[in-house]
A and B are shown apart, each in its own frame.
Chain A
Amino acid sequence: MSGDPILTVDRLMMRFGGIVAVNELSFAAERRKITALIGPNGAGKTTVFNCITGFYRPSGGAIRLSHDDGRSIQLERLNDFRISKQAKVARTFQNIRLFPGMTALENLMVAQHNALMRASGLTVLGLLGLPSWREAEKRAIDLARSWLDRVGLLDRADDAAGNLPYGDQRRLEIARAMCTEPALLCLDEPAAGLNARESGGLNELLLSIRNEQGTSILLIEHDMSVVMEISDHVVVMDYGVKIAEGTPQTVRDDPKVIAAYLGADEEEAIAVMESGT
């Protein structure tokens, strides 16, 4: 693969005791493109995600993120909150993790924590209520408002996040991740539990994030209608190793991919083959 990768994963290893969850995985995600990571259940996709977003420390290998300005960061050396704060990688979770007792708007305000902390002079200026802080807070609310509008939740801004329907919660989590103004957005099964109409809306949202914000997207997905429709590049994993990669078209016709899905889960194999015909 050529071009201008934003994320380069090089011989990534992840061991849990004797179990090798990810074995020498290498792939790259192009800048301003949507890259999908697919594979049968237990293939190690979420483990890769957790390594990229700093929740696990890889046992070996390198993960490099190169920003637009040429700055390059080794993600495997950062951990925890620094991945989001310094490397500008945002993520969502397979089982939604919103702040259920806070409103949708508050959820998006929390996402702008680091920018607002600077603006509030590490709380001192904010405590005094200086105009510069009020200005920054207003801008933050405007950013949150625009994202609520983008995901169609503007009229539910003041409702508790935990009270929103499932599909809305999924979109709110994406909006929250985008409020951190990331360079790379990692989505863990964004279409899980959505109906056909909702996942159609999700496709449009993700495409607009790529086209308008220029954010690169890496996603794990089981819903082949989402993967095949919006991905620019697909990486297929099975048992912790990469078995294929390429455009959705080439991956769909790859016999190894079909075999992996057939061997693992009949339903998913049929889904892959049907969307291929």
Chain B
Amino acid sequence: MSATSARPSHAALPSGGAFILKKALISALVALVLFSLMIGVRTEAGPQGGLIYWTRFGDLAALVATVFGGSIIVELLRQWWGPIDKDSLVPKPVQSAMSFAGRWLAPALLVFAFLVPVIFYDQRYILDLSILVLTYVMLGWGLNVVVGLAGLLDLGYVAFYAVGAYSYALLATNFGLSFWVCLPLAGILAAFWGVLLGFPVLRLRGDYLAIVTLAFGEIIRLVIINWQSLTGGPNGVSGIPRPTMFGIPLDNSDSGLAARLGIEFSPTHRLVFLFYLILAMALLTNWVTIRLRRLPIGRAWEALREDEVACRALGINTTTTKLTAFATGAMFGGFAGAFFATRQGFISPESFTFQESALVLAIVVLGGMGSQLGVALAALTMIGGFELFRGLDQYRMLVFGIAMVLLMIWRPRGLIGHRAPTVFLERNQAISSDLVKEGHG
């Protein structure tokens, strides 16, 4: 869409009652066609082996009616609560309260994050969950560089997570290197694989890029499974050393931290240490990304997302710019992978399936591409929310899916869709998500 035609698009959007009714009717018709055989007619093998069937038109009618009503409700919700006409429907005091909350949300979240081990010291489950959430926050922030800033759709991000995890696991178990030596090595190795992936996909865009990155993720997983002599194949790598606090182990031995401090040993110490470790790593990722955005390389990434042809006309080397985006994102993925390995103590290829890539990508998209706070919130909602629905048993996935669909209808550009400028003269004003592009590969 060109720059000029982007603005008045929602003025032309049909919104009348007739439109909603028509849309609902079409949905109902599709449901009728789809479900008439699936629900309307039921077949079963009879006692003599013959086929018997009976009709269930009542159920079918109820289902079609639900789709009809649901479509109307969704459309109304979309028009009343969606970004369209948002200003006229949300009262002014609510707006100002929301902007106040928006300003203090990030610092409040940060303070809360620091206090989590203090507040929930006795609740191992919460501590474990927060470590998991923070791991995904870090992964989300890493992928955000590639997808959110540079606009390159990467469906194989888990490959770098795996490279990081296996780098640490193999270096530590084979050569006895410590976590702090392996961490940068894991990042460098992942970045190296990021560049390797980057080269063949430089010319690809959009769907094609997504497919190749998807394949890359699978290749790494398959290599890990099949290279048994190195990686142990499906059995994984076990006995990965736990991290030490700068050389002091966190166990109940005589040289352990508890013994040295003269306090009673508790396994929670290690959990708290792991928590602050991943918090520090995630914050480092965040800090570096924020810094990079304000440097020429970060601006070039965003410019690449906006218009690649214009970048070339301005003398920007799009090849190296894309490669640095891949490498930076991969490096953070590698760090997170090394942390994952040391936390688990055991890794196997099962932890690095496409499911993980999809989850991290969903976090980035749901958060609002390019927004650091949005990604953190999305990780909290996705991982935390998923745990919240644990009581719903088999309906968990269903409720979770519906929640995601509703969220995307309500906020099509993610939780925080607008973009903050990297430099300003007078006013630091956010840029509406209508103008910011998603990138095209």
Check if B25 is an interface residue, CB within 8 A of chain A: no
Check if B3 is an interface residue, CB within 8 A of chain A: yes
State whether A98 touches B310 (Cβ < 8 A): yes
State whether B435 touches A162 (Cβ < 8 A): yes
Check if B394 is an interface residue, CB within 8 A of chain A: no
Contact of B296 among A117, A157, A177 (CB under 8 A): A117
B-contacting residues, A88-142, CB 8 Å: 90-91, 93, 95-103, 105-106, 109-114, 116-117, 120, 123, 126-127, 129, 141
**Chain B residue at minimum C-beta to C-beta distance from A80:** B312
How many A residues have CB within 8 A of the partner chain? 51
State whether B303 touches A110 (Cβ < 8 A): yes
**Chain A residue at minimum C-beta to C-beta distance from B435:** A162
In the bound complex, CA of A169 to CA of B3 (Å): 9
State whether B7 touches A102 (Cβ < 8 A): no
Per-residue CB contact flags for chain A residues 156-171 toward chain B (1 = under 8 Å, else 0) read 0111111100100100
Binds A, one of B108-116, B155-163, B418-426: B418-426
**Chain B residue at minimum C-beta to C-beta distance from A84:** B315
In the bound complex, CA of A223 to CA of B314 (Å): 26
Check if A176 is an interface residue, CB within 8 A of chain B: yes
Q: A80-B312, A162-B3, A169-B4 are in contact. Are A100 and B306 (CB under 8 A)?
A: yes
**Chain B, interface size: which category?**
35 or more
Q: A105-B423, A106-B422 are in contact. Are A111 and B314 (CB under 8 A)?
A: yes
In the bound complex, CA of A93 to CA of B311 (Å): 12
Q: Which residues of B contact A91 (CB under 8 A)?
A: 313
Binds A, one of B233-241, B287-295, B372-380: B287-295
State whether B436 touches A81 (Cβ < 8 A): no
In the bound complex, CA of A102 to CA of B420 (Å): 9
In the bound complex, CA of A109 to CA of B6 (Å): 23
State whether A81 touches B424 (Cβ < 8 A): no
Per-residue CB contact flags for chain A residues 161-204 toward chain B (1 = under 8 Å, else 0) read 11100100100000011001000000000000000000000000
In the bound complex, CA of A122 to CA of B316 (Å): 13
State whether A93 touches B310 (Cβ < 8 A): yes
Check if B85 is an interface residue, CB within 8 A of chain A: no
Q: A106-B423, A123-B297 are in contact. Are A99 and B303 (CB under 8 A)?
A: yes
Contact of A102 among B296, B318, B421 (CB under 8 A): B421
Q: A53-B313, A110-B300, A113-B316 are in contact. Are A105 and B425 (CB under 8 A)?
A: yes
A-contacting residues, B349-401, CB 8 Å: none
Check if B307 is an interface residue, CB within 8 A of chain A: yes
Q: Which residues of A contact B2 (CB under 8 A)?
A: 95-96
Check if A210 is an interface residue, CB within 8 A of chain B: no
In the bound complex, CA of A121 to CA of B157 (Å): 29
Q: A99-B307, A101-B436, A103-B421 are in contact. Are A126 and B314 (CB under 8 A)?
A: no
Check if A145 is an interface residue, CB within 8 A of chain B: yes
Min CB distance A32 to B, Å, is: 22
Min CB distance B311 to A, Å, is: 8
Q: Which residues of A contact B312 (CB under 8 A)?
A: 54-55, 80-81, 84
In the bound complex, CA of A103 to CA of B7 (Å): 15
Contact of A110 among B3, B288, B299 (CB under 8 A): B299
Q: Count chain B CB atoms within 10 A of each CB in A80, A109, A160 and give the residue with the most.
A: A160
State whether B425 touches A116 (Cβ < 8 A): no
Q: A158-B421, A158-B424, A162-B3 are in contact. Are A99 and B315 (CB under 8 A)?
A: no
Per-residue CB contact flags for chain B residues 303-331 toward chain A (1 = under 8 Å, else 0) read 10111011111111110000000000000
Min CB distance B320 to A, Å, is: 10
Q: Which residues of B contact A169 (CB under 8 A)?
A: 3-4
Contact of B314 among A82, A113, A157, A159 (CB under 8 A): A113
State whether A101 touches B318 (Cβ < 8 A): no
Contact of A157 among B305, B311, B317, B426 (CB under 8 A): B426
Contact of A114 among B307, B315, B419, B428 (CB under 8 A): B315
State whether B310 touches A97 (Cβ < 8 A): yes
Q: Which residues of B contact A53 (CB under 8 A)?
A: 313
State whether A110 touches B313 (Cβ < 8 A): no
Min CB distance A105 to B, Å, is: 6
Per-residue CB contact flags for chain B residues 398-441 toward chain A (1 = under 8 Å, else 0) read 00000000000000000000010111111111011001110000
Q: A84-B314, A127-B295, A163-B7 are in contact. Are A100 and B428 (CB under 8 A)?
A: no
State whether B437 touches A100 (Cβ < 8 A): yes
In the bound complex, CA of A95 to CA of B425 (Å): 28
Check if A85 is an interface residue, CB within 8 A of chain B: yes
Q: Which residues of A contact B424 (CB under 8 A)?
A: 103, 105, 157-158
State whether A84 touches B313 (Cβ < 8 A): yes
**Chain A residue at minimum C-beta to C-beta distance from B1:** A100
State whether B431 touches A160 (Cβ < 8 A): yes
State whether A120 touches B296 (Cβ < 8 A): yes
State whether A123 touches B295 (Cβ < 8 A): yes
Check if B75 is an interface residue, CB within 8 A of chain A: no
Which 6 A-B pairs rank lowest in CB-CB distance, beginning with the nearest?
A84-B315, A101-B436, A85-B315, A99-B306, A116-B296, A162-B435
Question: Would you list 30 pairs from A and B whose C-beta atoms are within 8 A, ordered by A residue?
Answer: A55-B309, A82-B315, A83-B315, A84-B314, A90-B314, A96-B4, A97-B310, A99-B302, A99-B303, A99-B307, A100-B6, A101-B302, A101-B435, A102-B299, A102-B302, A103-B421, A105-B425, A106-B421, A110-B296, A110-B311, A113-B316, A120-B296, A123-B297, A126-B296, A129-B291, A145-B425, A158-B425, A176-B314, A177-B313, A180-B314
